[in-house]
Amino acid sequence: MKLSQLVWTTRKKEVFLASVVLTREELNVFNDAIQGYSYEDIAENYNWSVKKVNRIIESLKNKYDIVQKENPDVLEPLIRLKKDISIKKEGDN
């Protein structure tokens, strides 16, 4: 699931950002992703590779999962696609 597919209310965004430490790159990608920009657009905007954007998005998703477990009343769980799971398993080997 893409971060932009979640409904980001002000409360949800505040809870997430207050609970994690993000690098400037992660914060930029987070803000662009929840506004609906494609990974390609984000990469082009910052002159990065799409692979770098994918790594940052994966890091954000992992941080979101941790915060979501601490705040299930505010943040809904991310539904991981099979594609996301297979990539994670390949990286674990």
Domains identified in the chain and CATH numbers = 3-92 (1.10.10)
What's the pLDDT at 5? 77
| Regions of the chain where pLDDT drops below 70 | 1, 81-93
What's the pLDDT at 62? 94
pTM of the model: 0.80
Phi-psi region of 36 (alpha: psi -120 to 50; beta: other; left: phi over 0): left
What's the pLDDT at 2? 74
What is the rounded distance in angstroms from the CA atom of residue 37 to the CA atom of residue 39?
A: 7
What's the pLDDT at 91? 52
What is the rounded distance in angstroms from the CA atom of residue 52 to the CA atom of residue 57?
A: 9
